[in-house]
A and B are shown apart, each in its own frame.
Chain A
Amino acid sequence: MKRLFSLFNVVSAALLAAAAYAYTEVQRPPATPEPPRLQLQERQSKPVKVYFSDAQVQTMKPETRSVQVTQDSPSATAQAALRAWANGPQTGGSLPVVPKGSPAPNVWLRGTHVYVDLPESYQRLRYGTSGERMLLCTLTRTLLEVSGQDVTFLVGGKNVATLWHLDLSEPYRAQDCTDQ
């Protein structure tokens, strides 16, 4: 009579038991993930320098403003600064660069380069050359105060040669926007 607990039988039984355990394990439904808890992002206040025009459209006047941001990143700060720019100055002696209620441009940062997408409605403003320079240069100086080395302007998401008179084919740097 052959032995019941031969080596072959024992190993086979162990393998069978392991297979049965593995089968039950894979059949077990996955644990239901916990939904993320809703956390209200805390807004924090950041000081930024926003530039506007003087009454004679000749020099740029800075105004230190406190903007609310939810992330402490240059990109968020730059976007908040442009919202403050579009809302206009709060002190006397400065002029808003775009009419009240105009949308703020969108801004992106890529390394040391800043990209600004001007809304298409800006094309209808039709400023003179000094007015156009004031629009582009107040934006440039406001953004370069936050971060970056140069500012490239797009209109409606597209590269354009000019808005009305000035060359937009190359980025604007701080030296393009010195006060006259």
Chain B
Amino acid sequence: MRGAFARPLLLSVALLMVGLAGAQIAFSRLNLAGQQVQSVNLYGAEYASQGVLDRVVRISREGPIIRVEGYGHVLLLPLDEDPQRAATTFNTVQLDTDRVKARTATLLNGNLYLPLDTLARGLGAEYRAGNFRVIPARLQGVSSRAGASSDRLVLDLTRDVSFSDELRGTTVTVTLEDVQGDARRYTTRGAFVPRAQVARDGDDLKLSFTLPPGSGYRVYRVVRAGGSRLVVDAGPGIPYTSPALLERISRPLIVLDPARVPDLGRDVTLDVARRAAELLSQAGWQVRLTRDGQSALGLNQKLALARRSDVYLALDLGRFPGTDRGGVTVYEPTGRATAQIVEAVRSGGKAPYIDLAIGGAGGTRRLSELLRGELKGGGVTAQAETVSRTLTLGEAPQAALLLELGWVGNEDDRADLASAGRLRAMSVAVARSVATYLTARAANAGRTVSGTPADGPQASGAAGAGQ
């Protein structure tokens, strides 16, 4: 009799439990920044899967911590594999620099789910059940305050955004990424920053102003509920700081790599390199040669020097059995750079001051044009060609060229290379083109170089004196 009641009772309890469990996890629709997607209601909190949220934020897993990046914010959410516990507000999550109690990330069927209310709180978005709205980033206005030792510019934004700042010459540029706003000029009452300009550059807004002599600047953000502010202080009261990269451009390193050519009698590549180095050193430039008459750097030392160089110039002679080819050729490296970081930046990597660390192909082309122009001025006609997969040139982060001084198998070239006048003309062309290129590069970055613009004519003069 007892058994007859027990079975239906157990079945009823099981069905009730299944019903209760089902009630804790239910699928629903979510409007995520204008797109209709699926979300999950988990113990009363709305969660969205990583696949869905990847459309608006960048999510990565670092061990037991989920890192969410987007809209200028970084959120760190511990992963709790128990959904019920994750959906409580007793978890500690990090929203930028604040640690707060909130719901955290969890796994459902092996997929990562994140709580929408915590994300909205950390990212500065608006959230109501079923609707997650990201406020568009917009510059609402620029205000200023004049101070005794510094002026302040305050940029009012609708939400926090990513920004970067650069000082080139005397111009400070603050770039606000993916921000809407009007391009216009602002005037202030300040003595140090009397005017500033906001200009559009693609999707970004750029604020620029002139930094007075003897002044420094700093940029920092103030995030508040309902908006964000970017504060720029500039004036003599702010210490002047400058990135090491900008300092380095004032003292560039020139590396000359003369190849050792056997069976020619005279070491012409070394002759040209030595003479050019002498002219450049006299004008105050820092030059290194990869070998002298007796000893030479090993491959690894040479590559290390190439990586530090601002100009890398390899000097060689053409050698190939049976060819009658002759003449001077300037080779520009093409294709993939062997150094991964150089390749990454040249393929579109962006960061402040990155062009000072790794130059694009434009610098090499400019140096090549200058060198061919100077050679022509010295009565030497040089062809331009490209070469790929060159080891040392591929490691050089800035301008790098290979100058082929002639061909060993060509009678005319051998006669030319025996002439001291021709070697001197080539040395002078190398020295002048490198000095002109580096001086222009430093001027573009708003700096002077050790062979300063004042020394520039001296560099040319020294080169000229050698002729």
Residues of A whose CB lies within 8 Å of any CB of B are 53, 55-58, 95-96, 99, 126-131, 133-134, 161-162, 165-167, 169-170, 172, 175-176, 180
User: Does B323 contact A162, Cβ atoms closer than 8 Å?
Assistant: no
Residues 247-275 of chain B, each 1 if its beta carbon lies under 8 Å from chain A, else 0: 00000000000010110000000000000
B404, chain A: closest CB distance, angstroms = 6
Is B322 among interface residues, defined by CB-CB distance under 8 A?
yes
Give A37 to B87 CA distance when docked, in angstroms: 80
Per a CB cutoff under 8 Å, which of B324, B338, B404 touches A130? B404
In the complex, chain B residues whose CB is within 8 Å of the CB of A126:
261-262, 319
Interfacial residues of chain B within 288-306, with CB under 8 A of chain A in the complex: 299
In the complex, chain B residues whose CB is within 8 Å of the CB of A56:
323, 325
User: Does A165 contact B390, Cβ atoms closer than 8 Å?
Assistant: yes
Would A130 and B320 be within 8 Å (CB), given that A162-B299, A167-B391 are in contact?
yes
User: Does A176 contact B320, Cβ atoms closer than 8 Å?
Assistant: no
User: Does A167 contact B390, Cβ atoms closer than 8 Å?
Assistant: yes
In the complex, chain A residues whose CB is within 8 Å of the CB of B317:
128
User: Does B320 contact A166, Cβ atoms closer than 8 Å?
Assistant: no
Is B394 among interface residues, defined by CB-CB distance under 8 A?
yes
Is B318 among interface residues, defined by CB-CB distance under 8 A?
yes
In the complex, chain B residues whose CB is within 8 Å of the CB of A127:
319-320
Residues of B whose CB lies within 8 Å of any CB of A are 259, 261-262, 299, 314, 316-325, 329, 331, 335, 338, 385-392, 394, 402, 404, 407-408
Q: Please give me the 8 A-B residue pairs with the lowest Cβ-Cβ distance, nearest first.
A: A131-B320, A128-B318, A167-B391, A128-B319, A95-B322, A57-B320, A56-B325, A162-B391
User: Does B324 contact A167, Cβ atoms closer than 8 Å?
Assistant: no
Give A127 to B322 CA distance when docked, in angstroms: 12
B406, chain A: closest CB distance, angstroms = 10
Give A55 to B322 CA distance when docked, in angstroms: 8
Would A161 and B320 be within 8 Å (CB), given that A55-B325, A169-B338 are in contact?
no
Give A129 to B404 CA distance when docked, in angstroms: 9
User: Does B320 contact A172, Cβ atoms closer than 8 Å?
Assistant: no
In the complex, chain B residues whose CB is within 8 Å of the CB of A53:
320, 323
In the complex, chain B residues whose CB is within 8 Å of the CB of A129:
314, 316, 331, 387, 390, 402, 404
Give A55 to B318 CA distance when docked, in angstroms: 13
Give A138 to B324 CA distance when docked, in angstroms: 19
User: Does A167 contact B389, Cβ atoms closer than 8 Å?
Assistant: yes
A125, chain B: closest CB distance, angstroms = 8
List 13 other contacts, CB 8 Å, given A128-B408, A130-B331. A55-B322, A56-B325, A57-B320, A57-B323, A99-B321, A126-B262, A127-B319, A128-B259, A129-B314, A129-B387, A129-B404, A130-B329, A166-B389
Query: Could you say which of A126, A129, A165, A170 has the most chain B C-beta atoms within 10 Å of its C-beta?
Result: A129
In the complex, chain A residues whose CB is within 8 Å of the CB of B318:
57, 128, 130-131
User: Does B320 contact A128, Cβ atoms closer than 8 Å?
Assistant: yes
Closest to B385 in A: A180
Give A131 to B402 CA distance when docked, in angstroms: 14
What are 30 A-B pairs at a CB distance below 8 A? A55-B323, A57-B318, A57-B325, A58-B325, A95-B320, A95-B321, A95-B322, A96-B321, A96-B322, A126-B261, A126-B319, A127-B320, A128-B319, A128-B408, A129-B314, A129-B331, A130-B320, A130-B385, A130-B387, A131-B319, A131-B320, A134-B320, A165-B259, A165-B316, A165-B390, A166-B390, A166-B391, A167-B389, A167-B394, A170-B338
Closest to B334 in A: A180
In the complex, chain A residues whose CB is within 8 Å of the CB of B325:
55-58
In the complex, chain B residues whose CB is within 8 Å of the CB of A57:
318, 320, 323, 325
User: Does B391 contact A165, Cβ atoms closer than 8 Å?
Assistant: yes
A95, chain B: closest CB distance, angstroms = 5
Give A56 to B324 CA distance when docked, in angstroms: 7
Give A34 to B259 CA distance when docked, in angstroms: 64
A98, chain B: closest CB distance, angstroms = 8
In the complex, chain A residues whose CB is within 8 Å of the CB of B324:
55
B400, chain A: closest CB distance, angstroms = 13
User: Does A161 contact B319, Cβ atoms closer than 8 Å?
Assistant: no
Give A21 to B449 CA distance when docked, in angstroms: 104
User: Does A176 contact B335, Cβ atoms closer than 8 Å?
Assistant: yes
Give A143 to B275 CA distance when docked, in angstroms: 44
Give A56 to B392 CA distance when docked, in angstroms: 24
